[in-house]
A = this chain, B = another copy of it.
Amino acid sequence: MKFTTCSTPVRYAETDQMKFVHHSNYLLYFEKARLDWLSSLGVSYSKMEQEGIFMPVVRANLVYKFPLFFGDCFTVEVILVKNPKATLEFDYYLYNQNGKLICHGNTVLAFLSAKTNRPMRCPEIIVRLFDFDKD
């Protein structure tokens, strides 16, 4: 199961004085990509939060292959790694406008109950969305 974002231009403020995108921004790009995916599947993450379910990132991994410059556009490919259980794991591949792989990474997200402030199992709505075996 995978999803690819629209092409997104780099923001000027995302560069630093090395003259390319600061490495922390890729976590924002990955976050946007996975929330866009949820949204495209009809799941509003804001609604999930209002219902008391948070999805904090508990692990992240990034490999930076080439710089991304202001003036560049990028797409992010998001892949669900395995069936959602207590956590949700995604791989990301970020390409520039020439199809060059700029950065890839992986994040693991947990589910947190806003009421108890404790980990919880993956909500049914997410399980059903991302069930590998459903077809």
Contact = CB atoms under 8 A, between A and B. Distances in A.
Interface of A: 9, 11-13, 15-20, 22-25, 27-28, 31-32, 35-36, 44-46, 49, 54, 56-64, 67, 69-71
Contacts of A12: 16-17, 31-32, 35, 45
Contacts of A25: 24
A56 B22 CA distance: 9
A15 B17 contact: yes
Q: How many copies does the complex hold?
A: 4
A59 B63 contact: yes
A90 to B, nearest CB: 14
B27 A57 contact: no
A75 to B, nearest CB: 16
A27 B27 contact: yes
A60 B62 contact: yes
Nearest to A55: B18
A122 to B, nearest CB: 17
B67 A56 contact: yes
B17 A49 contact: yes
